Amino acid sequence: LKVAVLGLGYIGLPTAAVIARTGAQVLGIDVSEAVVETVNSGRVHIEEIDLDGLVSGVVARGNLRASTLIEPADVFVIAVPTPFGDNHAPDIGYVLKAATTIAAALKAGDVVILESTSPVGTTEKVRDLLAKLRPDLKVPGMGPGTPDIAIAYCPERVLPGRILVELIDNDRVIGGITPRCARKALQFYRRFVRGACVTTTARAAEMTKLTENAFRDVNIAFANELSVVAGNLGIDVWEVIRLANRHPRVNILSPGPGVGGHCIAVDPWFLVHGDPENTPLIRTAREVNDAKTGYTIGRAEALIEAMPAVPVACLGLAFKANIDDFRESPALKVAATLAHRFGERVRIVEPYADALPKAFDGSGASLIDIDTALETCPILIVLVDHDVFRSVPLEERASKHVYDTRGIWPDQPQPSVNEVPSIRLA
């Protein structure tokens, strides 16, 4: 079996490597020469647990190869980004470009699978494009007769930091343009997926993916809204959530400095954009979560201003715990804003960074380690719940002024009245 995976990013590269491990011949296609070179030398350009060893192994065995140019294959997997443009309109330009690339190599019997998160209807657009570019091939779902190729939508649903595990263990939703297409794609996923493979239509699968991330966004927004209300009331929101979650049918997520990453803060807009009039809840959740970052900055500024001249440690820049991914990170936004406002008073602790990202250029802020922060900074602002922060014992932070936006230190002493508040309300 020969498989071509288009897009060697956070999803495409692990997917290509996992398929290669099954013994298939996998060609990874990427527009970046640098990425292609890195992969061909058996190395990786992204950080993901165990990915380096897997990629070096399958490249050494000759099962994975990368190129900027397409070649014939039996299965084509599209895993390119779908960003949004102005007004949160989804941009499926990369998907259509990948489909155009595939069209040149397509032959009868091939299977084309779209994995990129996409607005409802995108797989049909891919089908229409392939039909236009390859009038010699009969595409599925158009006119009578058995189609020459199969086209399906099968969203990835893996969690960064657990990608290699979840690629295999998670259930997969496989949406065919026709039921036959879904069956063809299912045969392919069965090679490496241990979870259940459930078939449906391409449109339902597209909406399912958007629904999953919108569900999480709405639930995080609820927690973030609660944290603001509790803060105004002088109540510890983390305690309230812990208590409420003792109810057998309540399961509130965690507030934080906002929602980051490239999925949950993006995908709900695809649903909103598709039907703006009927999505007030999903839209408002997005707005609540975005606004939480500004609220966090305001509270941090108030704490820093109340204690002039002392150094401040911002703990964490990543978009979530225990990963090195700083893209679309609310923690980074908060820390960089504080750095530009308070200059060299601001120290950043980020065990997953070797140097401060560009956003800090010209700010005067510096990168220090957690030990130095605990020794030298009277103010600690927790922005990411990395394990290394969570494990700091009370004795090392009891005297600190803490703004814990992630609720990692439930035992942090509450301030007495008239003292600079040790804020633990996210």
Name the site residues for ligand SAJ (rule: CB under 6 A): 117, 156-160, 212-213, 216, 220, 253-254, 256, 259-261, 263-264, 319-320
Query: Long-range contact list for 200-203, CB < 8 A, 24+ apart?
Result: 200/173, 200/174, 200/175, 200/176, 201/175, 201/176, 201/177, 202/123, 202/124, 202/151, 202/152, 202/153, 202/175, 202/176, 202/177, 203/120, 203/121, 203/123, 203/124, 203/175
Query: 15 vs 254, which CB is nearer to ligand SAJ?
Result: 254
CB of 237 to ligand SAJ, least distance (A): 12
CB of 286 to ligand SAJ, least distance (A): 12
Query: 264 vs 297, which CB is nearer to ligand SAJ?
Result: 264
Q: Are strands 75-78 and 346-349 parallel, antiparallel or unpaired?
A: unpaired
Alpha helices (H) along 190-317: 202-233, 237-244, 267-274, 280-306
Whether 263 sits among the annotated catalytic residues: the reply is yes
Whether 138 sits among the annotated catalytic residues: the reply is no
Q: DSSP for 54-116, please give it.
A: HHHHHHHTTSEEEESS----SEEEE-----B-GGG-B--HHHHHHHHHHHTT--TT-EEEE-S
CB of 3 to ligand SAJ, least distance (A): 21
Query: 130 vs 237, which CB is nearer to ligand SAJ?
Result: 237
Q: Are 17 and 41 in contact (CB under 8 A)?
A: no
Q: Are 362 and 380 in contact (CB under 8 A)?
A: no
Residue nearest to ligand SAJ (CB): 263
Q: DSSP for 298-365, please give it.
A: HHHHHHHHHSTT--EEEE--SSSTT----TT-HHHHHHHHHHHHHGGGEEEE-TT-SS--GGGTTS--
Q: Are 302 and 309 in contact (CB under 8 A)?
A: no
Query: 63 vs 293, which CB is nearer to ligand SAJ?
Result: 293
Query: 156 vs 236, which CB is nearer to ligand SAJ?
Result: 156
CB of 210 to ligand SAJ, least distance (A): 9
Rounded Cα distance between 281 and 270, Å, is: 14
Query: 130 vs 315, which CB is nearer to ligand SAJ?
Result: 315
Distances from the Cα of 309 to the Cα of 60, 312, 316, 379, 398, angstroms? 55, 9, 22, 11, 20
CB of 292 to ligand SAJ, least distance (A): 8
Q: DSSP for 22-53, please give it.
A: TT-EEEEE-S-HHHHHHHHTT--SS--TTHHH
Distances from the Cα of 116 to the Cα of 11, 213, 267, 286, 319, angstroms? 9, 13, 11, 21, 21
Catalytic residue among 263, 292, 314, 333: 263
Catalytic residue among 154, 184, 197, 209: 209
CB of 405 to ligand SAJ, least distance (A): 9
CB of 382 to ligand SAJ, least distance (A): 12
Query: 122 vs 254, which CB is nearer to ligand SAJ?
Result: 254
CB of 298 to ligand SAJ, least distance (A): 18
Side chain identity at 282, as an amino acid letter? Answer: I
- The catalytic site residues sit at 209, 263
